Structure 1
Amino acid sequence: MCKQHLFIAFSILIILVRFSPARAQVASSDVLFARLSTSTSRMAYEQRGGDMKEIAPLLDEAGKSAAGDPVKSYRLYMKAAALMSGAKWTPDVELATALDFSLNAKIVGVGDYLQARATFLFDAPAATNAPYRLELDIVKNDNAREASVAPGIVLGEVKTRVGGEMIGLIFDPSKLVGPGLHLIRATLKNNQGATLGQYYRSFFVINDLNKRLAAVEKIIELLPDNESPAAATVRYYLETIRLARHTYLGGSFQNLVGLLHTAYRARGLALMELMDFDAELDQATRLATALKEGRNPLADARGHLRLAYRSSFDGKLVPYRIYIPTTYDKSKAYPMITLLHGAGGDENNFMDRYEGRWPKLAEERGYIIVAVNGRGPVSGYAKANGAEQDVLDVTSLVQRHYRIDPNRVYLAGHSMGAGGTWAIGLEYRDRFAALAPIAGTRPTPQLETALKSGRRMPIIIVAGAKDALVPVAGCREVAEKAKALGHEVKYLEFAEGDHISVVASSVKDIFDWFDAHRKVTPADR
């Protein structure tokens, strides 16, 4: 692209977005995760003897503003986070929280252009150390530089910048790095060269992207079978890859804005990609080719599988993950666990995080485990948005396609997924033999009503004494109440456990609990 055309592209980009309302730049999910992040920081800050005199009012006001003014709420949470980290609240520090750094796509083909953009989430503060700039570097996971994207994004004088205004550049990443997954780091600096903040986004460069996509699309268009698990999975891959070429289709926590995303990344919570797009394009090719030849490519598949189905709720293609033991024998019936991820997560969490303990124990104990998408990262597993139906559909789907013992189907979930485990597990208790809510148990009138009705169930409740998001006192209260109401309860509390660590720490205990319990049928009585 020549300099004249590049200048025109920049100008169009800025004109299109600079007057967009700031409110549209901060989503409700950003506010939610800003609150959760500061709640975690607050526990540690108070344990260090930190003074909450200035910070507590900020958090209170942020909570009150969340629904009516998400931008204000976000700003207050970020100020509180900065103060708890020991930073002084200066215009330069506030400027770092005012910016979001983004890419227009998650994947590009060799020779394709990628847009890197700085967006002001709200009107810029009166920062005086101009000119400001974002230095752009493509880095490895250890932050070692692979290449620089010159000249970076020049912000210049920022005092007049308004919320929604965007500045960016367009570049061809394949001229700087080879095919594969890459990480771009944007470093905000002032006129003195001081680093004010860093932002990260990842992207894939894929060889022969257009050619490979077209080849699979040609095969799948001619297939008579559109609804089998393999056919639905191929269509999901194609749909997702096409979408990732035009939007930043991030994995868990990767679509959070600005420094909030950086904070979650630093905690190891924004590192998982939605998928390896290059590898899954190869997988789509293999599946489509097998279907064309009249073979079922999933008939003998074992280990980790990434699949999709068409939802009975709205007809959309929805992904799920499943682990089939390598020793799976179709002549035997297997126990099964349906797993519900927490807020911010997706179907990959239980399979790829938590030290890999869930699939490892599934292999050792001879379980089939399936992790649902839940129709998004913050669905709450509600009826209205199809998330509850996703849990039921995927459970039924696995039972149809694999040999599952109907009396050994279990439900477990973390955080938001624990809430879903309580709600779905008790409403549809005839479908599950036992439940395992992890770090997400709270006393509510709805839960008490559900516990009082229907068949009493075996339930293992997992909690961490150092969980900053789910008070352990509430977990203890529910455990005692459930016991009093006749449910068989094991309460497992980890003295050093926090909101995340207990998911890995409790795996063996949960499998032990499920091993010891099967659904009681009339014939067993």
Structure 2
Amino acid sequence: TLVLGQGAPPPQVLPEGIRGGSEVVPEQGVEIRNYVFEPTGERLPYSVYVSSKVRNDQKAPLIIALRGFTGTTLTFVRGTAVDLAETGGYILVGAIGYNNRAGFGVQAPPRSPAGASESGASPAPPPMPRTLPPLVGGTAETDPAKVTAYSEQDVMNVLAIVREEFNVDDRRIYLMGHSQGGGGARHLAEKYPDTWTAVALLAPALFNVQVTAESKITRVPLLLAVGDKDSLITRARDFSAQLDRLQVAHEYVEMPGLDHGTIIMGSMPNVFRFFAEQVKPQRR
């Protein structure tokens, strides 16, 4: 994100073999679609990439992807993620979550201005840039609680739309999210554990999240990935430690050289490998 008055941000350095792509311009094969969100009557966007291997007469795996704060529907539907979706025969979908600042069902604490230090007592979201990118998606509703609920509803609407259009394999429906979207993915895994075959949380924004033996997320295979250059790495470590204490099987990866931004595409080989290993058992 460009912070006015500070010049352009330094270019992101991705690991060898990782393709970044654009979060603004859809690449070949990627469609930005929209549908009418009934509570407000607005048209909300979502992005879709369908592998050339997908056939109407065969069930296909589906990945729903949730952007970070001020991200786009293309945050995941680009670059190496598209390449791996093509190779693996996936349908890859990016949801906006009502708008690009809403929390997918999680109402975050207030953000500090850029440059402010974090409080050790209560984790807060990453600092806001001095000038935010434009609001994308729904704008009719401004009440924070309603926007948060609409953000979750939008994701589940998009999931339903895609399942109706394509021959989706219910045994292979995956969810991944980055930062704010990672926190949202954790929430959606907790609320709808039977929907997801596996969930990947990438540098997730987690606000005082406590996992207990009764937490439904413990039933969902989890991958937790964070770059070792990410200033928010302690949150990922703390969440993994909670799961360890409960003896909840999960995969935790700290990726060398990656930061809060480069973890998105940089983690895709791990994410797609993890998803490919997870398939729900056949129903009897």
Q: Which one has more relative contact order, counting CA pairs under 8 Å at least 6 apart?
A: 2
In 2: Cα distance, 1:412 partner to 1:455 partner: 16
| Superposition deviation, residue 374 in structure 1 | 1.6
Rg larger in structure: 1
1:285-309 Cα distance to aligned partner (Å, 9 max, x none): xxxxxxxxxxxxxxxxx93111111
- 1:392 maps to 2:118: no
Aligned equivalent of 1:504 = 265
Aligned equivalent of 2:224 = 461
Provide the identity percentage. Answer: 26
1:213-237 Cα distance to aligned partner (Å, 9 max, x none): xxxxxxxxxxxxxxxxxxxxxxxxx
Where do 1:430-441 residues align within 5 Å? 430-441=194-205
- 1:266 maps to 2:266: no
CA contact (8 A) 1:457 1:488 kept: no
CA contact (8 A) 1:338 1:411 kept: yes
Aligned equivalent of 1:284 = none
In 1: Cα distance, 2:213 partner to 2:37 partner: 27
Select between 382-391 and 456-465 the one with higher mean Cα deviation: 382-391
1:417 corresponds to which of 166, 178, 181: 181
In 2: Cα distance, 1:273 partner to 1:370 partner: 14
In 2: Cα distance, 1:346 partner to 1:311 partner: 18
CA RMSD of aligned residues (A): 2.6
- 1:303 maps to 2:26: no
1:478 corresponds to which of 228, 236, 239: 239
The unaligned stretches of length 5 or more in structure 2 are 13-20, 106-144
| Superposition deviation, residue 454 in structure 1 | 6.3
| Superposition deviation, residue 510 in structure 1 | 0.7
The unaligned stretches of length 5 or more in structure 1 are 1-252, 277-301
Secondary structure, aligned partner of 1:518: coil
Aligned equivalent of 1:336 = 62
- Tell me the TM-score normalized by structure 1: 0.42
Where do 1:89-488 residues align within 5 Å? 253=1, 258-259=4-5, 263=7, 265-267=8-10, 274=24, 303-352=29-78, 356-382=79-105, 384-385=146-147, 386-442=150-206, 444-445=208-209, 447-449=210-212, 452-453=215-216, 456-468=219-231, 470=232, 472-488=233-249
Flag the 1:311–1:460 CA change in 2: closer, same or farther, 3 A: same
CA contact (8 A) 1:451 1:485 kept: no
Secondary structure, aligned partner of 1:499: coil
- Tell me the TM-score normalized by structure 2: 0.74
| Superposition deviation, residue 481 in structure 1 | 1.7
1:324-347 Cα distance to aligned partner (Å, 9 max, x none): 012221111011100000112111
In 2: Cα distance, 1:431 partner to 1:417 partner: 17
1:335-365 Cα distance to aligned partner (Å, 9 max, x none): 110000011211122224xxx0000000001
Secondary structure, aligned partner of 1:430: coil
CA contact (8 A) 1:418 1:440 kept: yes
Which stretches of structure 1, 4 residues or longer, exceed 4 Å deviation after superposition? Answer: 271-276
CA contact (8 A) 2:34 2:43 kept: yes
CA contact (8 A) 1:426 1:450 kept: no
Aligned equivalent of 2:112 = none
In 2: Cα distance, 1:450 partner to 1:267 partner: 43
In 2: Cα distance, 1:320 partner to 1:399 partner: 14
More helix by share: 1
CA contact (8 A) 1:456 1:486 kept: no
Flag the 1:453–1:338 CA change in 2: closer, same or farther, 3 A: closer
Secondary structure, aligned partner of 2:194: helix
In 2: Cα distance, 1:422 partner to 1:462 partner: 13
In structure 2, what residue type is equivalent to 1:452? Answer: S
In 1: Cα distance, 2:65 partner to 2:187 partner: 14
CA contact (8 A) 1:443 1:475 kept: no
Flag the 1:522–1:272 CA change in 2: closer, same or farther, 3 A: closer
Flag the 1:501–1:273 CA change in 2: closer, same or farther, 3 A: closer
Aligned equivalent of 2:274 = 513
Flag the 1:397–1:486 CA change in 2: closer, same or farther, 3 A: farther
